Structure 1
Amino acid sequence: MTLAAESKLTFPKGFGWGAATAAYQVEGGWNADGKGPSVWDIFSHQEGKIVNDENGDLACNSYYFWEKDLKCIKELGLTYYRFSLSWARLLPNGTTCNINRKGIDYYNKLINDLLSNQVTPVVTLNHFDLPQALEDMGGWASEEIVNIFDEYSAFCFRTFGDRVKFWITINEPYVYADLGYEVGIHAPGLKQPGTLLYQVGHNMLKAHAKAWHTYNNLFRQLQKGFVSLALNSDWAEPYDPSSPQDVSSCEHYMSFSLGWFANPVFKDGDYPSVMKSQIKDRSEKQGMAVSRLPEFTAEEKKMIKGTADFFALNYYTSRKVQHSEKPLDVQSFHTDKEAEGIVDPSWPISGVSWLAVVPWGLRKLLNYIKITYNNPIIYITENGFAEKDPPSLEDDRRCDFYKGTLLEILKAIHEDKADIRGYFAWSLLDNFEWSYGYSIRFGLYHVDFKNPELPRTVYKSGKQYAKIISHNGFIYAKE
C-alpha cells in the first residue's frame, strides 16, 4: 500500500475518539441524595408508556457504579466522553433557589476522574430530562423557560467550567419537540399536533442562544471553552430523482429537520424560508389569522445567529423522500412538510425498525453541512447501531456498521475536505432507550440488567473500536 493510500485510512492527528451517554439513560439513583423528579421519572412510571413498563429508576446504576463506567472508558482508550447533567439532580426544583450539593459532588467526581485519565469531558446541559417542577410551570412551552435555562446554564458554567471545555446546551431539539410535544411517545407525553412543538422549538432556540451569550460574555475569556447544541438529522434522497416533486420534497424534509434549528444558529437567525412559507400557507388555508410557526423579532434573530462554536451532529439513518400532500383538516408537523421519508427495502435494518443502515448517507450529510453552513468544525456527537435484546457479544453486524461508517467519515475528511474533529459512538453502555426501555441495545459494552451488580462486558464491536482508536484509523501493525 502506498503512503497516500495509507493516509486515507488514518484520521487527522488529534482526532477526538469518544462515546456518549445521557443521565436518565444510565445513572439510576432517580430519587437518591436529594435529586428531584424529572419529566422522564414521571412519564416512565405511567403504565403503558414504555415497553414492558420499564423505567430508568436503576438503569446502569452509574450514580453508584461510575468506577465501572470509567474502567470501560479507559479500556476503550477514549480521548473524549460525552455525558449529560441531570438538571433535577443539581437543582431539584429546576432553579438555583435549591442547589443539591451531592449532585455537584457526583459530577465533580466524573469530570475530575476523566481529566486525570486524559479524557476530555463533553457535557450536555439538557438531554430530554427537564425537571418536573419546571414542566408543572409550563416547561419548554412557556417562554419563562428561556431565562430559567440561562440561569441553570450559568450555574453549570460557574460550577464546572474551570474544567469542562466542551458544552452542549440542548440535545436533539427536533426529536425533543416532535416526540415529546407532537407525537407524545417521549416525556412529557403531550399531543398538540402542529402547534405546541413549534412553540417548544422556538423557546429552545432562544434558550440556547441566551446561554451561549452568557458563556461568551461572562465565562469564555477565562474558561476558553466551546458551546453548541446537538442536532439530529437523517440524510434525505429523492424517492424518484426524476420527479421534481420528490426533489422538492427532499428540500422540505431537510428544512423541517436539520434546517429548523441549524438555519437560525448557523445561517441567518431565522427559520428556513420553505418552512416558514409552507406552515404559513397551510395555516391560512386552515382559517388561521397567523402562522402556527412563531416569528422571531429582528432583535431575536440577531441574538440567535452565530451561537455555536462547532457543529454537533447526531446521525443514525437516511430516508428516500417522496411528495406527500394531506387534506387540510389534518393539522400536524408531519403534514406541514408535505414530505414522507421511506426506508429503501435494499437497506439493511438494525435491531430497531427505524434504523436502516446507510453509512454513505452520513458522508453526504457531512458534505451538505459543509456547503450549506460555511464549512463549520464538526463533531459527530452520536452515531450507533441497535441490536435486539437478548444480544450476542459477537455483534458482527455492529462491527460492520462502525467500520463502514468510519470509512465514510474518512472519505468526508480526505476527499470532501469536511472539517471533522471527533466521533462519539452511541453508546458506551447498553442503557434505557427511552420508549423502547431495555428491549434494544446500543452499547459498546453489554450490561446484564438481571444481575444486581450490572456487570459490563465488552462486545466484539467495542474491541474493534478500541483497536481503531489505538491506531487512529485502519492501518494496523502486524500482530
Structure 2
Amino acid sequence: MARLYGFGQLLLASLVAAQQVFLAAEGPTTRPQCRGTKTREPKYSFTPFSFTLTDTVRYATSVPAPTATTTYAAPSEALITLLPSSLSYTTWSKWDPNATAKATDTDNPFGSAAWTALWEHANPPNFTEKALYSTTVSPTPIPSTELVLPPRDYFGPTDCYNFPEDFEFGVASSASQVEGATAEEGKSPSLMDILVQDDRPKAYVTNEFYYYYKQDIERVAAMGVKYFSFSIAWTRILPFALPGTPVNQQGIDHYNDMINFILEKGMVPVATLLHFDTPLQFYGSNLTKAADRPEIGYVNGAYQNETFPDAFVNYAKIVMTHYADRVPIWFTFNEPLLYSTNAKSIDHVIKSHARVFHFYKEELKGTGKISMKFNDNFGVPRDPNSEADVYAANHFNSLQLGPFCDPIFLGKDYPDSFKQTFPDFVPLSKEDLAYIGHTGDFLGIDPYTATVVCPPVPGVQESILDCARNSTSTYRPYCVNQTMVNVYGWDIGYKSFSYVYITPTYLRSYLNYLYNTWRVPVAITEFGFPVFSEAEMALSDQLFDTPRSQYYLSYMSEVLKAIWEDGVEVIAAFAWSGNDNWEFSSYDAHFGIQTVNRTTQQRNYKKSFFDLVDFMKARGVE
C-alpha cells in the first residue's frame, strides 16, 4: 500500500470524503423552500380572457458613467524612469505576402525588412485577411430594442443569497482569439501563427476586435457589466520580443486607447500579459519544435527556453509601466500548465511571475492586485467511499495545481506528486521559496468542468506511483484513469462538444478545495459553455441558448452557496466569453454570450447574457 503525501494530503482526503459529490436520497426530490402545500380542492370559475400573461417587457440597464477617477500607480510619465534609458519606440506597417515592393532598410536589425523577415520565417499557410476594418471604428449607442430581456425560463434558481458588496463580475477574452489584424501595425508572429502548420486552421480575421473594440466595449457596457478582462499581445508591444529591441508605439497607443475607453464607459479593465501567444523568437530557426509533444501540457509554449524569463519580465515591465495607473487587476500567465513542456517550463513560469510581482509591488508601487490564471478540470473520486479513488483525486489535482500554487501561495516546495513524476525538476532553495512565496493576491481559476478519476488499476493506489516511475506509461503525466462517468454509470452532467459538462455541484466542492488548500481568495477567471452544435443552428436558435443559461445560473448559484454556507471567499467571476471567438482550431465551439457574423461582423446578444446579468443584478452586483 503506497503512503499518502503526508499530513496535508490526509487532510485533503478527509475534506474530499466529507464533501461527497454523490448524495444518497430516497424518494422524490424534497422542496425545502416550500413551507407547506395546498391540499384542499380548488374552486373553478369563469373570468374575462386576455393575453396579459404571455409577455413581459424588461430592459437591461447599462453601466453608469464614472463620476471619479481611481488610479493604482503613478502615471506612466513618472514611471518611465524604471525602464532602461536605451529603450526606443518605433512603428511598422502591415505584412502582405503578395506585395511586390520590398523594404530597403536591410541594414537596420529592427527595421521593416527585419520585421517582414519574421513573417516570412513564420510562413503562415493560406494567409489572407478578408477584413472589414483597417482603422478604429467609432462606437454607436446600443438601441433599446436590442436590450429587451428574453422570455424567462420556467425553472430557475430558488436561492435567497446576495453576492458580497465588492464582488467583481465581468466578461473575458484573449488577444489571439478576437483581435484579428494579424500582421498589421507592427504585430509580429506568435505561437498562434506557428500552430497552423500543425494542421490547425488559423482565423486571421477573428472578431476584428483590434479595430472594433470600442463597439464591443459599448455593447458590454450597455448590458450593465462592470469588468472587462482582456489580454495584451506581446508581439504587438515588442515585435522582436527580446530585451533591448524597439517598442512598437502603435501597440502602446492601441492598448492605451482601449483601456481609456473601458474606463470612459464606467467599466474596470483587467489585463493578462500572456494568453498562450508566445512570440516566434523562442522557437528559433526550426519552427516545427512548436508541434513537439510536451511532457506535461498540450502545447510547447517555449517557456523552457533559457531566454524566456528575462524577456517576459522585460515585456511585463514595459506594459505595466504604461498601464498600471489605470489597470487594477493583472494576470501574468493564462493557464501555464497547458503550455508547459517540461519541469523547467514550470520553474521559469513561477520565477518569472515572482519577479513581475515584486516589480509591481515594490518598484512600481502598484496598489492593485496581481495573480495568475490556472486550469484544472477538478478531479473528483469515482467513488468517494474508496480510499484509492480519493488518493487518485488528490494526486491528480496536486499535480496540476501544486507545482504552481504551493510555491506561489504558500512558499512551499513542489508536491511529491510532481517530484515523483518529473525527477528532472529544478530544485527550489529556501531563498527561492522566500522570494516566490505569497506572490499572488488571489487564486485565479478557470473551472469549466470536472473529471472523474480513479487509479490506473482500479482500487490499487500503488498503480499511480508505478505509473509515475514509468516514463512510457500511457497514463502519464497524471497517472490516473480519467472519465466523465460516475460509479453508477451516469455522465456527471450534460455533455456538449465532447468535453464540457454542466457540473455545478462539483464546482462548489472545487471552490472549497482551492480555498482550504491554498488559503487565499478565489477568483473564477473564466467559465463558459458551448451549446452542442450551435454553429449549425439558425441565428434565432443560437440566440435562445437555454443550456448555456442553465450552465451560468447553476454555477453562480453554487458560488453563492460556497460563499454563504461554506465560508469560501470567492471574489470574482468572469464569463467566457463576451463573443463567440476562435477556439484555437475553429469557430465551431461557440462559447460566446454574443454571436458574431464572420462576414458582416454583426453582433447579437444571446439569451444567456441577459439571464446571467439579470441573475447577478438581482443578487446585489453592480
TM-score by length of 2: 0.66
Structure 2 equivalent of residue 204 of structure 1: 349
Which amino acid is the alignment partner of residue 335 of structure 1?
R
1:83–1:123 CA contact under 8 A, matched in 2: yes
Aligned pairs for 1:317-396 (under 5 A) are: 317-324=449-456, 325=463, 330-331=471-472, 334-344=475-485, 345-374=490-519, 376-387=520-531, 388=533, 389-391=535-537, 392-396=542-546
- Write the letter of the residue equivalent to 2:481: E
Identify the residue that residue 7 of structure 2 maps to in structure 1: none
How do 1:92-171 and structure 2 match up within 5 A? 92-96=239-243, 97-136=245-284, 139-171=302-334
**2:379–2:452: 8 Å Cα contact kept in structure 1?**
yes
Task: Tell me which residue corresponds to 2:590.
Answer: 441
Q: C-alpha distance in 1, partners of 2:557/2:349?
A: 34
Match of 1:313 among 408, 425, 445: 445
Tell me, what secondary structure is at the counterpart of 1:440?
coil
Q: Secondary structure at the match of 1:464?
A: helix
Kept in 2, the 8 Å contact 1:41–1:56? The answer is: no
Partner of 1:75: 222
Report the Cα distance in structure 1 between the residues aligned to 2:158 and 2:449, rounded to whole angstroms: 28
Sort the Cα spacing of 1:430 and 1:131 in 2 relative to 1 into closer, same or farther, 3 A: same
CA shift digits 1:58-81 (9 cap, x unpaired): 100101111221122112211111
> 1:356-380 deviations in whole A, cap 9, x for unaligned?
2211111111111121112x12211
Q: 1:215 to 1:421 in 2, by over 3 A?
A: same
Where 1:83 maps in the other structure, the secondary structure is strand
**3-state SS in 2 of match to 1:441:** coil
Q: Any conservation in 2 of the 1:316–1:355 contact (CA below 8 Å)?
A: yes
Shift of 1:424: 0.3
8 Å Cα contact 1:124/1:168 also seen in 2: yes
**CA shift for structure 1 position 320:** 1.3
Say whether the 8 Å CA contact 1:8–1:410 is kept in structure 2.
no
Code of the residue aligned with 1:439 in structure 2: it is D
* 1:332 Cα deviation after fit: 6.7
2:203 aligned counterpart, secondary structure: coil
1:316–1:384 Cα contact (<8 Å) kept: yes
Give, in angstroms, the shift of residue 473 of structure 1: 5.6
Cα distance in 2 for residues equivalent to 1:47 and 1:68? 34
Q: CA RMSD in A?
A: 2.2
Structure 2 residue 578 is the aligned partner of structure 1 residue 428: yes
Amino acid at match of 1:218: E
**Residue deviations 1:311-349, cap 9 Å, x none?**
111111111111014766643795243212210233334
Structure with larger Rg: 2
Contact 1:350-1:385 at 8 Å conserved across structures: no
Distance in 1 separating the partners of 2:496 and 2:214: 29
Task: Note closer, same or farther for the CA distance 1:47–1:262 as it changes in structure 2 (3 Å cut).
Answer: closer
1:269, 1:304 within 8 Å by CA — same for their partners in 2? no
CA–CA distance in structure 1, aligned partners of residues 496 and 216 of structure 2: 24
C-alpha deviation, 1:234, in angstroms: 2.0
Shift of 1:241: 2.8
What CA distance in whole angstroms lies between the structure 2 residues aligned with 1:467 and 1:247?
A: 38
Distance 1:445 1:80 in 2: 16
Aligned residue identity for 1:337:
Y
8 Å CA contact 2:231, 2:271 repeated in 1: yes
Shift of 1:350: 4.1
Residue 10 of structure 1 deviates from its aligned partner by 1.7
Matched, 1:472 2:614: no
Q: Which residue of 2 aligns with 1:244?
A: 387
What secondary structure does 1:428 align onto? coil
Find the aligned partners of 2:248 and 2:562 in 1 and give their Cα distance.
44
**Percent of counterpart pairs with the same letter?**
31
User: 2:191 corresponds to which residue?
Assistant: 39
Residue 613 of structure 2 aligns with an amino acid whose one-letter code is A
Give the C-alpha shift of residue 293 in structure 1. 2.5
Q: Give the partner amino acid of 2:276.
A: F
* Aligned equivalents of 1:202, 1:315: Cα separation in 2: 24
Amino acid at match of 2:551: F
Cα pair 1:357 1:401 within 8 Å, conserved: yes
What displacement does 1:40 show?
0.6
**CA displacement 1:210-244 (0-9 Å, x = unmatched):** 11111121112xx3111101111222221123332
1:16/1:423 contact within 8 Å kept: yes
The one-letter code of the counterpart of 1:9 is: Y
Residue 466 of structure 1 deviates from its aligned partner by: 2.4
Whose helix proportion is higher, 1 or 2? 1
- Alignment partner of 1:62 is 2:214: no
| Matched-pair contact (CA < 8 Å) for 2:214–2:258 | no
SS of 1:379's partner is: strand
What letter is aligned with 2:407?
P
| More relative contact order, 1 or 2 (CA 8 Å, 6+ apart) | 1
Larger mean Cα displacement after TM superposition, 106-115 or 320-329: 320-329
TM-aligned CA deviation for residue 33 of structure 1: 0.6
More displaced, 105-114 or 334-343? 334-343
Task: Assess, with a 3 A threshold, how the Cα gap between structure 1 residues 8 and 416 changes in structure 2: closer, same or farther.
Answer: farther
Q: Aligned residue for 1:191?
A: none
CA distance in structure 1 between the partners assigned to 2:174 and 2:371 by the alignment: 17
> How many Å separate the matches in 2 of 1:415 and 1:380?
18
2:548 maps to 398
8 Å Cα contact 1:202/1:294 also seen in 2: yes
Q: 1:37 to 1:18 in 2, by over 3 A?
A: same
What are the superposed Cα offsets for residues 400-458 of structure 1, whole Å, 9 maximum, x if unpaired?
111100100000111111111211000001000013x1111000101112x2x311111
**Alpha-carbon distance between aligned partners in 2 of 1:467 and 1:442, rounded to the nearest angstrom:** 19
> Structure 1 residues 91-100 or 359-368, which shifts more?
91-100
Q: Per-residue deviation at 1:136?
A: 2.3
Unaligned runs of 5+ in 1: 182-196, 281-290, 475-479
- The 2-side partners of 1:153 and 1:444 are apart by 30
SS at match of 2:595: strand
Partner SS state of residue 367, structure 1: helix
Tell me which of 180, 202, 210 is aligned to 1:28.
180
In the superposition, the TM-score normalised over structure 1's length comes to: 0.85
Aligned to 1:454: 601
CA distance, structure 2, for counterparts of residue 460 and residue 307 of structure 1: 39
Aligned pairs for 1:242-281 within 5 A = 242-276=385-419, 278-279=420-421
Aligned to 1:17: 169
Which of 326, 330, 336 pairs up with 1:173?
336
Q: CA contact under 8 A between 2:350 and 2:404: conserved in structure 1? A: yes
Partner of 1:233: 376
Q: Is the 8 A contact 2:454 2:480 kept in 1?
A: yes
Q: Structure 1: how far apart are the matches of 2:569 and 2:220?
A: 25
Which residue of 2 is the match for residue 415 of structure 1?
565
Q: d(CA) in 2 for partners of 1:157 and 1:351?
A: 38
CA apart distance, 1:308: 0.4
Of 454-463 and 92-101, the range deviating more from structure 2: 92-101
Unaligned 5+ runs, structure 2: 1-32, 35-156, 290-301, 457-462
